Chains A and B, each alone.
With several copies, the nearest count.
Chain A
Amino acid sequence: MTAPEERIVEAALFSAGRPLAIEEIVEAVPLTRRKVERALAALMEDYAQRGGADQTAMEVARAGDKYVMQLRSAYADYGKKLSGMEVPLHLLKTLSLIAYYQPVTQADMKDMVGGKIYDHVKELGELGFLRVRDHGRTKMLEATTYFYEYFGFDTTDRDKIKEYLKKRIKGQR
């Protein structure tokens, strides 16, 4: 299919380099919301097909409530160095536990991972992944929208995220 609308939305996603809300795309390109939505669906499908045949290193995917062009997981390692990213492994572990148990108190997390939780919460907060609220003598921890976007979750529904994390873990074992 050679829909110029698909190309236009592809251009928008490529140049933004971050997840975009549909509204942002509609504002930036001369297309109606309906056309943008259709183009996004077509793009995701096209990229998925070409990815399946290993004909592209990229994918168009949902990230939280937004849409993003990113490397397929299989190729993520080849891009990490050049895009200058890397959240340290120990933070990823703590973060995935918080995402699973959220909303969870800092005190409960301390029972799980020990005193280093204070440093981890501080760093994760600075990275924008955690919302930290006072909760009696301790703090209540929750993942932010940015967390869902950054890690490419296709939903912000906590139960669904829990299910997803559980499934991934079972695959890992």
Chain B
Amino acid sequence: MKQDIINHILMHRDDVVKREHIQKYIEMADGSSATLYARDMFDRAIAATFELVMDEQLDPWDIDLVSFSRQYLKKIRQTGAIDLITAGRIVLMAWKVLRLQSDHMVTVLERKEQEPQPLWDEIPDWYMEDDEYLFTRTVIEQGPPIEEKVRRQGERKVTLVELINAFEEVRDDLEQREKRQRRRTREQERLAAQAERDVGDNAHQEDVEEEIRQVLAKLSKLNGRAIPLQELCSQRDRQEMVMVLSSLLFLAREHKIVLWQENFPYGTIYVKNRHHDGT
């Protein structure tokens, strides 16, 4: 009877090896003092089983606590009587087994988390060709067949000669910089002098006004006859052309003359005095 009860609350009942072990455990448990408090054969069998777990003789997961609960309730219903002290002890033991089960579970889960997760999932069928399949699988499961080569990382020492060369170079650098600075100073001085001269060129403004007067005087002498622009420039150099042209533009804006061109853009530009135009 005891064997049956134990078998019921144990998992892996079909495992022959385990059954042999269990027989041994039962014999051990019979000699144990801890089970003596249970007078009932049934209680004693359960207590013996739980005790084996707590003595680390049995894996806590070998106990089927659900089956145990069912059996225990059935027994209470059948007998109607219950030894509360023994029942209390057995429930406490069952709780301890449950604790062991959950501790065991946590340890297993933690170990699983620590284990590196496989990087590759499954090897696709199209790689089943022998050598290639073997290669791919071995690389993925066991690691790469290549390794980094370790080479010297060093940079070399600097020599005294290089220090001296550096000194020479930096002295050249400094000399060059001084030269550049001197050149910059000279340039600044030159620019300052130029600025001064430019201020003196205010006379230029007066030149322009004089030029306008002269151009107008020339045109007035023509009594309203038109003349080509070139004829107003006696020397035809660039500067004179600019002077004459800007004078004419000024006079045209003042409506003192008329300017026109035959055949744009290369035709001759004509000028005439507006006051003799009669318009």
Contact = CB atoms under 8 A, between A and B. Distances in A.
B167 A86 contact: no
A126 interface: no
A172 B138 CA distance: 8
A80 interface: yes
A85 B149 CA distance: 9
A11 B158 CA distance: 16
A100 B138 CA distance: 13
A165 B135 contact: yes
B153 A169 contact: no
Contacts of A112: 120, 123-124, 127, 136, 174
Interface stretch (A31-39, A40-48, A91-99): A91-99
Interface residues of B, number: 45
B238 to A, nearest CB: 47
Interface string A14-44: 1111100000000000000000000000000
Contacts of A150: 148-149, 157-158
A172 B154 contact: no
Contact of B120 (A83, A113, A173): A113
A125 interface: no
Interface stretch (A1-9, A69-77, A133-141): A69-77
B160 A151 contact: yes
B260 to A, nearest CB: 64
Given A15-B153, A83-B155, A92-B162, A111 B120 contact: no
Interface in A114-131: 114, 116
Interface in B48-95: none
A80 B143 contact: no
Contacts of A89: 143-144, 166, 169
B135 A93 contact: no
A166 B120 contact: no
Interface of B: 119-121, 123-124, 126-127, 131-132, 134-136, 138-140, 142-160, 162-164, 166-171, 173-174
12 contacts: A18-B153, A76-B157, A80-B150, A83-B151, A86-B155, A86-B157, A89-B166, A92-B147, A93-B140, A112-B123, A151-B148, A151-B149
